[in-house]
């Protein structure tokens, strides 16, 4: 049984804690120590657990410890992973809720978190520290880049390629065969019917670029 912490003690972190309890109800696989959070004092109670401290607790840790990210912001996840992965004692496990469906031919990168009622189809691939929120689905042969976050009830069709650090808003739909760039945000409820370039925000039905470049 390995020690495990959840990074982020906000609402999403608490939800990830619920996924952990569902996936390991007897606590036989993981020894859940508590939360790491840079914005809450150590010993703050979070449900039945507590905040252990900030990221310095992990940077200096010398005991093997699994870290699950309870964060949705793609850029924050990427920065955090780059920092924490320098510590050879830290690992990033895959956490899949038992009510999610993941095909055996799908690939899940280290640190992936999948919520209940999600569907990951045949030969789909999710990159490092991907997050799939409740009811999201991704079709056959589609790819989500590292640190991507897919919000509730998103429908990504087959043969879609999504770049790194993408954020797909709740209820969005992406047509099959499209290419979505890196550092892209797809707004809530948007319907994407054509390719999207890097570093922009798209919204609407059909989705149109509303922000470009560094403003995204």
What is the DSSP pairing of strand 2-7 with strand 65-69?
A: parallel
Percent pLDDT > 70 in the chain is: 99
Phi-psi map region of 153: left, alpha, beta (phi>0 left; psi -120 to 50 alpha): left
Per-residue pLDDT, 216 = 44
Residue with tokens 């009510």: 99
pLDDT digits (tens, 9 = 90+) for 31-88: 999 999 998 888 899 888 999 999 998 998 999 999 999 999 999 999 999 999 999 9
Per-residue pLDDT, 215 = 43
Phi, psi of 215 (to 5 degrees): -75, -15
* CATH 3.40.50.20 fits domain 2-93: yes
The 3-state secondary structure of 127-166 reads CCCCEECCCCEECCCCEECCCCEECCCCEECCCCEECCCC
> CATH: 2.30.30.40, 2.160.10.10, 3.30.70.1230, 2.102.10.10. Which one for 96-205?
2.160.10.10
Q: Which residues of the chain have pLDDT under 70?
A: 214-216
Per-residue pLDDT, 212 = 81
CA–CA distance, 101 with 50 (Å, rounded to integer): 31
Three-state secondary-structure class, residue 27: coil
State CA 30 to chain mean position distance: 19
CA–CA distance, 216 with 212 (Å, rounded to integer): 6
Per-residue pLDDT, 27 = 83
Per-residue pLDDT, 214 = 57
Domain with CATH 2.160.10.10 in the chain: 96-205
Q: Which of 27, 33, 34 is nearest to 51 (CA)?
A: 34
Per-residue pLDDT, 176 = 97
Question: What is the pTM (predicted TM-score) of this model?
Answer: 0.93
Domain with CATH 3.40.50.20 in the chain: 2-93
């Amino acid at each position: 049984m390995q020690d495990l912490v959840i990074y982020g003690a906000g609402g999403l972190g608490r939800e990830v804690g619920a996924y952990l309890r569902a996936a390991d109800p007897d606590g036989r696989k993981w020894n859940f120590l508590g939360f790491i959070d840079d914005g809450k004092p150590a010993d703050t109670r979070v449900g039945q657990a507590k905040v252990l401290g900030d990221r310095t607790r992990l940077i200096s840790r010398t005991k093997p410890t699994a870290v699950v990210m309870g964060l949705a912001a793609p850029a924050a996840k990427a920065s955090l992973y780059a920092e924490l992965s320098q510590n050879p004692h830290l690992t990033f496990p895959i956490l899949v809720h038992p009510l999610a469906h993941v095909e055996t031919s799908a690939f899940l990168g280290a640190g992936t978190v999948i919520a209940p009622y999600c569907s990951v189809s045949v030969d789909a691939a999710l990159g490092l520290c991907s997050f799939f929120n409740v009811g999201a689905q991704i079709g056959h042969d589609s790819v989500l880049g590292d640190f991507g976050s897919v919000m509730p009830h998103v429908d990504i069709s087959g043969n879609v390629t999504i770049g790194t650090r993408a954020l797909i808003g709740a209820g969005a739909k992406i047509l099959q065969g499209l290419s979505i760039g890196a550092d892209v945000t797809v707004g809530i409820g948007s319907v994407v019917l054509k390719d999207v370039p890097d570093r922009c925000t798209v919204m609407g039905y059909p989705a149109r670029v509303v922000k470009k470049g560094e403003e995204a």
